[in-house]
Amino acid sequence: MKLRKVTAAAAVVLALSTVATACGSDDKNDGGSSSGGGKTIKIGIKFDQPGIGQKTPQGYSGFDVDVATYIAKQLGYNANQIEWKESKSADRETMLQRGDVDFIAASYSINDERQKKVDFAGPYLLAHQDVLVRADDNSIKSPSDLNSKKLCSVTGSTSAQNVKDKLAPKANLQKYPTYSACLTGLQNGAIDALTTDDSILAGYASQAAFKGKLKLGGFKMTNENYGIGVKKGSDLKAKINTALEKMVSDGSWKQAVEKNFGPANYKYEPAPKIGNIVQ
């Protein structure tokens, strides 16, 4: 009887040891995390910018989504291993610093202040501040024509204020809570122009509801170098740069641009060279 008790106890110990070994052997890639027994990668994107990053009942779509998916594949992750996380503009640095995400692709302009807190791969797109106007409005041909016009400013944004301060001091700023509200105002004549990055504006103008009704001014008022944000000191930066270079060389980058912005006749810049920040 004593021998049988010892044998039973040993079997329990062996079983527990086997479970512990299995739990500790998750296959993790660099920058990835374990979830539900399989490796995953957490990527921050915008959820509310058509053409850039948007969450819909059908899934996730936009240029940043396509870029991030390509990068993830080069890092060893399939699309079903990606966990998409909403990255609002004010939260991006904190999300990276806390490790909430492995990287962020969310119309994330590289600037000196942000580079003090996080690292950037890229840039992967050179955008410019521009305006969106009604297609039949030929009165706005340059930034100075915005004087006396009703210019939409999304609450918390500095884009419209920059135009008023530097280019059109007599512009009549109209503050709306969202870009969608600005678009409604643009359609019904409550405002004359909406301003933010041309890539974001092109994404909105590419929507079926606005096809042929809106157009970009093409003013290129600022340079916005979009980068992939990573945690300070992360070795993902070099790996993502390699992935971005491949995306350009194999034609996938151009295909993604034309797919997401093409309907707006967006005159996009050539793919920027890695590390080349246009001031």
- In the chain, the domains with their CATH numbers are 33-127+225-264 (3.40.190.10), 129-216 (3.40.190.10)
Cβ-based neighbours of 142, under 8 Å, separated by 6 or more? 219
- What are the residues facing 84 on neighbouring strands? 43
- Residue 219 CA to residue 21 CA, distance in Å, equals 60
Query: Which pLDDT score is estimated for 33?
Result: 60
Cβ-based neighbours of 184, under 8 Å, separated by 6 or more? 190
Model confidence over 225-248: pLDDT tens digits? Answer: 999 999 999 999 999 999 999 999
Which is nearest to 257 in space by CA: 271, 244, 245, 243? 271
- One DSSP character per residue, 153-209 reads EETT--HHHHHHHHT-TT-EEEEESSHHHHHHHHHHTS-SEEEEEHHHHHHHHTSGG
pLDDT over 90 (residue 1): no
pLDDT over 50 (residue 155): yes
Q: How confident is the model at residue 98 (pLDDT cuts 50, 70, 90)?
A: very high
CA angle, 11 then 12 then 15, to 5°: 85
CA angle, 59 then 62 then 67, to 5°: 105
Model confidence over 38-87: pLDDT tens digits? Answer: 699 999 999 999 999 999 999 999 999 999 999 999 999 999 999 999 99
Given 3-state DSSP classes, what are the helix, strand and coil percentages for the chain, each rounded to the nearest 5?
40, 25, 35
CB–CB of 227/278 below 8 Å?
no
- Residue 107 CA to residue 199 CA, distance in Å, equals 9
H helix intervals, the chain: 2-23, 63-74, 92-98, 112-115, 159-166, 179-188, 198-205, 236-249, 252-261
Query: Which pLDDT score is estimated for 10?
Result: 42
CB–CB of 193/182 below 8 Å?
no
pLDDT over 60 (residue 268): yes
- Of the chain, the percentage scoring pLDDT greater than 90 comes to 72
Write down the residue that tokens 């050179």 correspond to.
126
Query: Which pLDDT score is estimated for 31?
Result: 62
Model confidence over 181-207: pLDDT tens digits? Answer: 899 999 999 999 999 999 999 999 998
pLDDT over 70 (residue 24): no
Cis peptide before 123 (omega within 30 of 0): yes
> What's the half-sphere exposure (Cβ side, CA atoms, 13 Å) at 142?
2
For residue 189, the tally of other CB atoms under 10 A from its CB is 10
